[in-house]
Amino acid sequence: MSAARIVVVGTGYVGLTTGACLASLGHRVTCADVDEGKVARLSAGRVDILEPGLAELVAKGLTSGVLSFVGQARDAVADAEAVFLCVPTPMGAGGAADLSAVEAVVAEIGDALPPGCAVVTKSTVPVGTARRIRELLGRSDVAVVSNPEFLREGTAVADFLGPDRIVVGSDDRAAARRVAGLYRALGAPSVVTDAASAELVKYAANCFLAMKLSYVNSIAELCERLGADIEAVTEGMGHDRRIGRSFLKPGPGWGGSCLPKDTSALLRTAEAARFDFGLLAAAIEENIAQRDRVLAKIAGAVGGTLAGARIGLLGLAFKAGTDDLRDSPALSVASMLAAHGAEITAYDPAVTRELSGLTVVDSAYRAADGADAVVVLTEWPEFRQLDWTFLAGLMRGDSVVDTRNLLEPRVVLDAGLSWQGIGRSSAGVLATSVS
Ligand code: UGA
C-alpha cells in the first residue's frame, strides 16, 4: 500500500498516536471514537493526552486534510483498506484481558467493511483473538491481521516513527505484507508471521521487560545486603550486548497501563494452556515485594514508625514524562503509607487533580514543608534541579529516600540531609563515576 485509506478505532494514546503518525506518513486516516466530546475536541486540534509531538502531528494532519475524526466507526469504514482496532483491553475478572470493546467494534463495523479490507488489532490482545475476530466477522473476503504496538507512554510518537521493528501477523500472509507495507517509509525491519505468533510477540516482549525489571530490583536488594552498588553492577552488566543497557534501572516497582495487565494476562493464558509459568509468576510477586521493601525503607527513614510521620512525596505518575496514574507504583506506596497512618503531601509536575488519602500541592518545596522524610517516586528530571539546601530548611526531619536513584547524592548530603537510594552502597555513592 502506498497512500492508503485507513480507519483507526479508539483515540487513546495508542490509537491517536497510530492515526496521527500514519497520516504523517502520507496515508489518509479517519479516527473514530464513541466519545463525541473527544471527537469534537480532536477535530478542533485539542489533544488531551500528554504525549510529546502528538498535538503538532494532529494539527498538521487536520490542516493538510489527511486526518479527520468521527464518532461512528461504521460510517467511516466503507472505503477503508485497513481498520486498526485501538480500543482498550483492560484486565478483566481473574486477570485475563477483557475483549468486550474489541468485540463491540467488530459487531458494529463487520458488515460495513468493504471486500479486501484488513481488520488490524493494534491493542494488546490475547493469543487467539484474530481467530475469534474471524469467527465473529464471518467474512472470508476480509483479512484479520495482528500488528502489535511497542510504544511507550511519553515517547509514543518517537517510538512510532523510529521503531526497532514492525511485527505483523496473519494467517493471510498477503494481507500481513500489505499492512507491513503501510510502514515502509519508516525503513524498519518487519517481521511477518502467522496471527498467533504476532499476538504472542507483544506479551512475550512486555513480560520480558517486566522480568528484567524484577530481576534488577532483586539484584538491587542483594546489593544492599552485600555492600555492592547497583549502578556499578548494571553498568558492568549492560555492556554485554546480549543483556543490553536499557531497562536496568531499579525503582519502586514497575507499573503503568501495560506491564501489570499484560503480565497477569499472559499468566492466565499460560494457566489456560496448562503451563506453569513460574518465572513470570515470580516476576509479578517480586514486584509486590519491591513496594513492600520501599515502604520498609521509608519507615526506617522516619525512625521506624509511620503513624503520624509526615512524608513529602515527589512524583505520582508511573514514570516521568506522563500524567498517567494507572497502576502507578507511586500511588501504591502512597496508599500503603496512608494505611500505616502517615500524613502525605505530594507533588508531581504533571498531576494537579485531587487524590484521596493525600494532599496534592503545586511545588516540590510545598511537599517538603514540615516533612520528616522526602521520597522521590517518579524520575522527573526537574527534581534534580531543586535547591536542596532551601528544601532541607523547610523540612522537619532530614531523610531523603530516592527510589529512582535520580538525585545526585552528594548534593543532598551537602544540604545536610541523609540520602538513601535503591541498591546503592555508600562506597558506590562516594565513588560515583563509572567511565
Ligand atoms: C511499555 C513497553 O515499554 C512498551 O514497549 C509497550 O508498547 C507498552 O508498555 C504497551 O504495552 O503499550 P510503558 O507502559 O509506556 O511501555 O512504560 P515503560 O517505559 O515500559 O515503563 C514501565 C514501568 O517500568 C514504569 O513503571 C517504569 O518506571 C519502569 N521502569 C522502566 C523501571 O523501573 N526501570 C527501567 O529501567 C525502565
- Residue 434, pLDDT > 90, answer no
pLDDT of 423 over the 80 cut = yes
> From the candidates 21, 31, 86, 258, which is the catalytic residue?
258
pLDDT in tens, 40-99: 999 999 999 888 999 999 999 999 999 999 999 998 999 999 999 999 888 787 877 789
- The stretches of 239-378 forming alpha helices (DSSP H) are 259-272, 278-301, 329-339, 364-368
Distance 126 CA to ligand 1 centre (A): 19
Nearest CA owner, ligand 1 atom 37: 247
Q: What is the pLDDT of residues 354-404, one digit of tens each?
A: 888 899 999 999 999 999 999 999 999 999 999 999 999 999 999 999 999
pLDDT at 177: 96
Cα separation of the two ends of the chain: 48
Helix, strand, coil % over all residues of the chain, rounded to 5: 45, 15, 40
Q: Which of 50, 157, 319, 406 to mutate to test the pocket of ligand 1 (most atoms within 8 A of CB)?
A: 319
Q: Averaged over 181-210, what is the pLDDT?
A: 97
Q: Residue 195 belongs to what H/E stretch?
A: helix 195-226
Would you say residue 282 has pLDDT above 60? yes
d(CA 312, CA 374): 5
**Residue 432: pLDDT over 60:** no
Q: Is the CB of 319 under 6 A from ligand 1?
A: yes
Tell me how far the alpha carbon of residue 203 lies from the centroid of ligand 1, in angstroms. Answer: 13
Per-residue pLDDT tens digits for 140-159: 999 999 999 999 988 999 99
- What is the pLDDT at residue 2? 64
Cell of 256: 503503568
Model confidence at 189, pLDDT cuts 50, 70, 90, reads very high
Span 28-36, mean pLDDT? 96
Is 145 close to ligand 1, i.e. is its CB under 6 Å away?
no
Task: List the alpha helices (DSSP H) in 77-194.
Answer: 100-109, 129-137, 156-161, 173-181
> Is 21 a residue of the active site?
no
Pocket test for ligand 1, best of 151, 160, 294 (most atoms within 8 A of CB): 151
Cα–Cα distance for residue pair 283/211, rounded to 1 Å = 5
Question: What is the rounded average pLDDT for all residues in the chain?
Answer: 95
Instruction: Check pLDDT > 90 for residue 199.
Output: yes
pLDDT at res. 356: 86
Average pLDDT (3-14) is 94
The pLDDT of residue 267 is above 80 = yes
Structure confidence at residue 435 as a pLDDT band (50, 70, 90): very low
Residue with cell 483507526: 8
pLDDT in tens, 109-130: 999 999 999 999 998 889 999 9
Could you give the CA distance from residue 317 to residue 325 in angstroms, rounded to a whole number? 5
How many alpha carbons lie under 13 Å from residue 230 in its C-beta half-sphere? 25
Query: How many angstroms is it from 328 CA to the middle of ligand 1?
Result: 11
- The candidate with the shortest Cα–Cα distance to 83, out of 132, 22, 156, is 22
